[in-house]
Amino acid sequence: MSRRIAVMGLGQMGWPIARNLARKGNGTETFVAVDADPARVAGLSEPGITVTADRSAVAGAEVLMLCLPDGDVVESVLFGPDGLGSRLAPGAIVVDLSTTAHGQAVAIGRALESRGFSFLDAPVSGAPAGAEAGTLTVMCGGTPETFAAMKPLLERIGTQVLHMGPLGSGQLTKTINNVIYDINIAALAEVLPMAVAMGLDPSLLAGVVTTGTSRSYASQYFVPRILRGEFDEGYPLAKAYKDLVSAAEVSVGRGFPLPVTAAATATYQMALRAGHGDRDKGAMVLPFEAMLGVKVRAPSE
C-alpha cells in the first residue's frame, strides 16, 4: 500500500526538497506538491509528483511537509479557514521545515497532537544550493518515535539529520545558528567601512577577512558580494529579522543576557530603518558606509 506524502510551499527551498523526496523514493509512495500561488506552480514539473495550487490535493496525506515563510503562515495553513489539518489522514505526521519561533513551534505541535497528529519541527540550513543538492542540515524537535519515523525521508534532503530534543528544539537550534551568523555579518558591516575610512584597500582587506582567523561562512559569502555592490542575492533582511526577534523572546522570557546579540540586532534595525528590508543581510553595511562617507567596493566597482 502506497504512502501519500505532501509538500506545501514551493519556493526556492520547497520545490527542490519535493524533487529530492520523489527522486529518492522507494516506489511505494505518491507525492503531491502544493503552493497557494498559481504563478509559482506554473512550469513546475517532475516525474512522480502531482504539482498543483489546489490545497484539497493534500487530502489523505500521511506525511505533510511544510516549507513556508514563517510560523504565522504555518498556523494559518494548518488551522485557519479551510486548514490542512482537517484534510490529513488519521494519525498523520506534520513536518515543519519552515523557520518558526521556538514558542510558536511548541504551540503548533501541541495543537496538532491534541487532534491526533504527530509533529516534528525540522528547520533546515544550507540555502537553496543545499536544497538542490540534497545536502541540507536538518534540526529536529519532537518525540524520538516521530523522529525515527521521519529520519529516512529527511535523509533524502539532508546529509546531517539531527534529533535535537523535544518539541521546539529544532527551531531553537536554527535560531541559535542564525543568530551567530547574523552577529558575524553585523560585525563585518560595522568594521569594514571603518577600515576603509582609515585608508585600507577594500580588496586587500577582503583577502584577509575571508582567509585569516576571522574568516567565516558569512565573510566568505557576503564580503565578495559587498565588494561588487550586490545586495539582492540572499534572504531579505525584513524576513530574516524574525530570528533575532525569536532570540529576544527567549532572552526576555528566560532572563538570559544576550548583549552581543542585542548589539547585532541594533545593526540590523539600522539597515531596516534605512529602507533596506528587501535586500539581503550584506546590506547592513550600507548605513555604516553612508555614515562614514565611504564605499567598501573593489576599484572596478
The rounded Cα 240 to chain-centroid distance in angstroms is: 8
Neighbours of 130 (CB within 10 A): 19
CB 33 within 8 A of CB 49: yes
Q: Which candidate, 37, 35, 45, places its Cα nearest to that of 10? A: 35
Angle subtended by helix axes 285-292 and 259-273, to nearest 10: 70
Query: Which cell goes with 113?
Result: 497532537
Catalytic residue among 24, 151, 174, 242: 174
Q: At what angle do helices 102-114 and 242-254 cross, to 10 degrees?
A: 80
SS3 labels along 280-296: CHHHHHHHHHHHHCCCC
281 is catalytic: no
CB atoms within 10 A of CB 247: 24
Cell of 70: 514563517
Q: Which residues are catalytic?
A: 174
